Structure 1
Amino acid sequence: MQVEPLTCTIGAELRNVHLGAASRDAALMTELRGLLLKHKVLFFRDQDITRAEHVAFARCFGELEDHPVAGSDPENPGLVRIYKDLDSKKEHYENAWHCDATWREQPPFGCVLRCVETPAVGGDTIWSNMAAAYQNLPETIKAQIVHLRASHSIGSTFGAAMPIEQRRKLQAQYPDAEHPVVRTHPETGEKILFVNAFTTHFVNFHTPDNVRYGQDFAPGASQLLNYLVSQAAIPEFQVRFRWKKNSVAFWDNRCTQHYAVQDYWPAVRKMERAGIVGEATF
């Protein structure tokens, strides 16, 4: 196996690895897990694998989760089909900086995404290292956010375009989740800036230490949240990947965010993703 780091901060391309065979090699899977923790997102080319092999590889890292809106492949539960075609022009869930499914109490451990069909040009995905984003925050900001917690919502994102009764049903099934603004990575111990496009507000900001007048809370709290969310957009924390058919990306969802660039319409882009169940953030 050859490992080529793609930036100084995040991402590596791995060569001479077949993910179908890898799932049957315990020693190789251990090595891949170590590389994932180090580089945060791993890329593989020319992975002509079946959906069953895709699922088997992802399951080596944990159980797979379904998606309440996107749905799964009927024959391979947990394999979500993200197909963008001529009917998808106005969809806009992916082209925002986000960490997958933080509206869950237990956000995903990671995701394995394979390209089925891609435009000749365009449709790249960008990942950002949120451990580096936290590390590079001003010390005054770190002190301000150390004990803050925030609410993450599916209702105000995936549910926003739904009729009100459908949105309420979705919200009842997946109530807003509360996570620390600064999460500790359960394996590396790194501090992670853990707010993104699913984050709606801080839940414990309105205290005497933070709020003198109403202006400190609104818009003060939202300005701070917007500042923190914007850190993912700093190029020094990023890697950008150009997709080709049968390319695969495997990322640690606990310490990265990603942004799918939607610059390719009316071309078609078809992806299949296996999301791996994660742990509570505490």
Structure 2
Amino acid sequence: MKIEKLTTHIGAELSGVSLAEAVGNDDLFGAIKDALLQHKVLFARDQQISKAEHVAFAQRFGDLEDHPVAGSDPDYPGLVCIYKDLDSPPDHYENAWHCDATWREKPPLGAVLRCLECPPVGGDTVWANMGRAYEDLPDHIKETIDGLYARHSIESTFGARMPIEKRHALKQQFPDAEHPVVRQHPETGEKVLFVNSFTTHFTNFHTAQNVRYGQDYSPGGSSLLNYLIARAAIPEYQARWRWKPNSVAIWDNRCTQHYAVMDYWPAVRKMERAGIIGDKPY
């Protein structure tokens, strides 16, 4: 297996490797996992793998989770089908910087995404290194956000397009989660900026230290949150991947965000994603 970096700060492409072989090869899987921790997102082309092999490879990282809105393959629970075909209306919920399912108490560890069909051009996905996004923050911002927590909501994102009764039922099933604004990666110890498009507000910002007048809280606190969320859009932290059929991306959801570029309608784009259950951020 060869590993070639895509950018300075994030992403590497694997070659000379079969992910299906890694299902039963501990040494190979260990090398892939080490590379993932180092580069945060890995890419591999020409992976002729079945759905069963896709699921089996992802399960080497941990148990898989279903998605309450996107839906899964009926024969392979945890394999989420992201099919954009000509019969589907243009749906723009993907094209925002996000870290998967931070509205869960335990957001995913990561995911394995495989391309079945894609446009001849367009439909790329971009990933951002949120460890570097934190590292480069000014010291006074780091001091301000140290110890801050924020809310993450499925109701205000996936639920926004639903009738009010379904939206409230979704919120009841998945109450807003509260996570530290800066989390620590459980395996590398790296500090990571952990706010994204699912994040609605800080929960412990309104203190005497931060808020002397009302404007310090709003728009002050919300402006700070928007500034932090926007860090993912800095090109120096990003890697962009052009899909081809049978290409695979593996990413660490604990320290990255990603953005599915919606520039290809009405072309077809069919992807399948296996998300791995994670732990509670701290």
Q: Give the TM-score normalised by structure 2.
A: 0.99
**Partner residue in 2 for 1:232:** 232
3-state SS of the aligned residue for 1:160?
helix
% of aligned pairs identical?
A: 69
CA distance in 1, matches of 2:168, 2:25: 45
**Partner residue in 2 for 1:81:** 81
3-state SS of the aligned residue for 1:86?
coil
8 Å Cα contact 2:126/2:241 also seen in 1: yes
CA distance in 1, matches of 2:64, 2:215: 44
Deviation at 1:31, TM superposition (A): 1.1
8 Å Cα contact 2:80/2:273 also seen in 1: yes
**Partner residue in 1 for 2:154:** 154
8 Å Cα contact 1:101/1:108 also seen in 2: yes
3-state SS of the aligned residue for 2:123?
coil
> What is the aligned-residue RMSD (CA, Å)?
0.7
8 Å Cα contact 1:89/1:265 also seen in 2: no
CA distance in 2, matches of 1:2, 1:32: 10
Q: Give the TM-score normalised by structure 1.
A: 0.99
Residue identity opposite 2:220 in structure 1: G
3-state SS of the aligned residue for 1:171?
helix
Deviation at 1:77, TM superposition (A): 0.6
- Structure 1 residue 127 and structure 2 residue 127: aligned? yes
3-state SS of the aligned residue for 1:140?
helix
CA distance in 1, matches of 2:88, 2:146: 40
**Partner residue in 1 for 2:210:** 210
CA distance in 2, matches of 1:93, 1:87: 17
Q: Is there any run of 5+ residues in structure 1 with no aligned partner, and where?
A: none
CA distance in 1, matches of 2:243, 2:39: 19
CA distance in 2, matches of 1:85, 1:214: 48
Residue identity opposite 1:60 in structure 2: R
**Partner residue in 2 for 1:256:** 256
3-state SS of the aligned residue for 1:166?
helix
**Partner residue in 2 for 1:170:** 170
8 Å Cα contact 1:152/1:177 also seen in 2: yes
3-state SS of the aligned residue for 1:94?
coil
8 Å Cα contact 2:90/2:265 also seen in 1: no
**C-alpha distance after superposition, 1:107-160 (max 9, x if no partner):** 000000000000000000000000000000000100000110000000000000
**Partner residue in 2 for 1:34:** 34
**C-alpha distance after superposition, 1:135-187 (max 9, x if no partner):** 00000100000110000000000000100000000000000000000000000
Residue identity opposite 1:138 in structure 2: P
Residue identity opposite 1:57 in structure 2: F
Residue identity opposite 1:155 in structure 2: E
CA distance in 1, matches of 2:186, 2:105: 15
CA distance in 1, matches of 2:154, 2:91: 15
CA distance in 1, matches of 2:99, 2:269: 21
3-state SS of the aligned residue for 1:108?
coil
4+ residue segments displaced more than 4 Å: none
Pairs aligned (count): 282
**Partner residue in 2 for 1:279:** 279
CA distance in 2, matches of 1:174, 1:91: 22
**Partner residue in 1 for 2:95:** 95
**Partner residue in 2 for 1:47:** 47
- Structure 1 residue 247 and structure 2 residue 247: aligned? yes
CA distance in 1, matches of 2:218, 2:97: 23
Residue identity opposite 1:263 in structure 2: D
CA distance in 1, matches of 2:76, 2:52: 7
**Partner residue in 2 for 1:191:** 191
3-state SS of the aligned residue for 1:159?
helix
8 Å Cα contact 1:81/1:272 also seen in 2: yes
CA distance in 1, matches of 2:215, 2:17: 55
